[in-house]
């Protein structure tokens, strides 16, 4: 325990451990990088390569933390809803990139793209030991019309006019693990109210809840969420603590969205999880509509490989998939998995 008023650090060492041989870090900042343009004058072509961003805090609000879903929290659903801040935040940014960087040991969320973000890339990065969500596309922060969620059922489109919605952002070849380390109902990669997002070739693992979450509206009303590509991601060892999620989770109408060639397995059911809601390879939650689902491989899930809730199979388009066959089964599609 660090008493920030006196500066005294109290540490209970394990038997035989010398605490004076340990290194302790007490972060002071919530955010390490904010690349903020404005409407009509975005930040352009800002590139960071091979850097490590680490150690940022997130002090608990005075009213505490009641997690709702994916880093959104409040007190009761009838009052103002908040979202965890971003350690690396982009607002009105175009053509920017993080390449071969590491984002480690931060208290809130790792990387996020807010209003007006276009054609930005997160490529070949490691995102680990994150208190909240690892990578977010569509985080609702500051900007025109971005005054706060303030909607009890989270059903409003965050980006109005729609020109504010993030578009064409790429999350590719990243290693995302140990997210949700403090606030357990958070996810590895989150996308909502954004268009043309590409989430491809990522390794997402070691999470208390869902791996990849797409969409954030609990019905089929049209929003700016559309044409998201979730392709050839390897998501496993998830749902270690909570229930009612999966390797991939979707919500709402998402025309043109594609879930293709993802390898999804080892979806747990924790002894700590209460209630009857299962954990699945892909959980198509309320209003999930408009997705193409093909060439996905799902096995070793505590619940069924696919789950539907307040939607149905007919709301989606289906190609060939492999559901339930483990690697030692002759029916397992080894070539696609590799």
Residue 60, number of CB atoms within 10 A of its CB: 10
If one counts every other C-beta atom within 10 angstroms of the C-beta of residue 162, the result is 12
Residue 146: is its pLDDT beyond 70?
no
Q: Residue with structure tokens 């193409």?
A: 292
Q: For residue 145, is pLDDT > 70?
A: no
* pLDDT tens for each residue of 32-88: 999 999 999 999 999 999 999 999 999 988 888 888 899 988 877 667 778 899 999
Q: Mean per-residue pLDDT for 294-310?
A: 97
Check whether 22 has a pLDDT greater than 70.
yes
The rounded percent of the chain whose pLDDT value lies above 70 is 93
For residue 254, the SS3 value is strand
CB atoms within 10 A of CB 50: 9
Q: Are strands 8-9 and 2-3 parallel, antiparallel or unpaired?
A: antiparallel
The pLDDT of 17-23, averaged and rounded, is 92
CA distance 333 to 338: 9
Mark out the alpha helices in 4-127 (DSSP H runs): none
In angstroms, the CA 209 to CA 185 distance is 6
CA distance to 58, 117, 170, per residue, from 46 (Å): 26, 12, 15
Q: Is the peptide bond before 266 cis (omega within 30 degrees of 0)?
A: no
Residue 142 has pLDDT above 50, yes or no: no
Residues 115 and 92 sit within 8 Å (Cβ to Cβ): yes
pLDDT of residue 150: 41
pLDDT for res 151: 47
Three-state DSSP class for residue 20: helix
How many CA within 13 A on the CB side of residue 26?
8
Residue 218 exposed, middle or buried by CB count within 10 Å (0-12, 13-18, 19+): middle
Residue 62: the pLDDT is 87
pLDDT average, residue stretch 314-320: 97
For the chain, give the percent of residues with pLDDT over 90. 80
Assess whether pLDDT exceeds 80 at residue 195.
yes
- What average pLDDT is seen over the chain? 92
| 148 or 15: which leads in pLDDT | 15
Q: What is the pLDDT of residue 159?
A: 64
pLDDT mean over 254-260:
97
Q: Does residue 160 carry a pLDDT above 70?
A: no
* Partner residues linked to 135 by β-bridges: 111, 189
Local confidence band at 156 (pLDDT 50, 70, 90 cut-offs): low
Q: Alpha-carbon distance 7 to 297, whole Å?
A: 52
More confident residue, 161 or 185: 185
Average pLDDT for 15-34: 94
Q: What is the pLDDT of residue 92?
A: 95
For residues 9-28, average pLDDT: 93
Phi/psi at 92 (5° precision): 50, 60
Residue 235, classed as helix, strand or coil, is strand
> Which tokens sit at 21?
């041989």
**pLDDT of 147 strictly over 80:** no
Q: Measured between alpha carbons, how far is 156 from 209 in angstroms, rounded to an integer?
A: 24
Confidence of residue 24 (pLDDT cuts 50, 70, 90): very high
Tokens of 27: 């972060």
> What is the per-residue pLDDT for 149?
42
């Amino acid at each position: 325990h660090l008493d920030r008023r006196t500066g005294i650090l109290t540490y209970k060492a394990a038997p035989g451990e010398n605490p004076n041989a340990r290194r302790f870090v007490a972060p002071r900042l919530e955010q390490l990088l904010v690349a903020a343009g404005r409407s009509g004058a975005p930040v352009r072509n800002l590139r960071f390569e091979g850097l490590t961003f680490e150690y940022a805090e997130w002090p608990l609000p005075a009213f505490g933390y009641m997690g709702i879903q994916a880093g959104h929290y409040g007190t009761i659903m009838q009052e103002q809803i908040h979202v965890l801040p971003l350690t690396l935040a982009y607002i009105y940014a175009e053509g920017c990139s993080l390449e071969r960087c590491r984002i480690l040991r931060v208290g809130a969320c790792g990387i996020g793209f807010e209003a007006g973000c276009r054609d930005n890339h997160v490529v070949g990065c490691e995102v680990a030991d994150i208190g909240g969500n690892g990578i977010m596309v569509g985080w609702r922060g500051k900007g025109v019309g971005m005054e706060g969620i303030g909607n009890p059922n989270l059903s409003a489109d965050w980006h109005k006019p729609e020109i504010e919605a993030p578009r064409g952002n790429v999350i590719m070849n990243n290693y995302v693990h140990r997210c949700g380390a403090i606030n357990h109902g958070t996810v590895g990669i989150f996308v909502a109210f954004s268009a043309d997002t590409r989430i491809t070739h990522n390794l997402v693992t070691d999470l208390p809840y869902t791996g990849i979450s797409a969409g954030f509206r609990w019905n089929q009303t049209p929003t700016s969420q559309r044409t998201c590509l979730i392709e050839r991601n390897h998501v496993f060892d998830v749902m270690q603590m909570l229930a009612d999620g999966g390797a991939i989770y979707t919500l709402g109408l998402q025309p043109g969205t594609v879930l293709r060639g993802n390898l999804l397995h080892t979806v747990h059911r924790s002894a700590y999880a209460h209630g009857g809601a299962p954990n699945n390879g892909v959980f198509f939650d309320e209003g999930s509509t408009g997705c193409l689902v093909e060439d996905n491989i799902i096995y070793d899930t505590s619940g069924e490989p696919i789950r539907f809730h307040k939607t149905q199979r007919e709301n989606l388009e289906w190609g060939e998939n492999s559901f339930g066959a483990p690697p030692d089964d002759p029916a397992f599609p080894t070539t696609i998995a590799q």
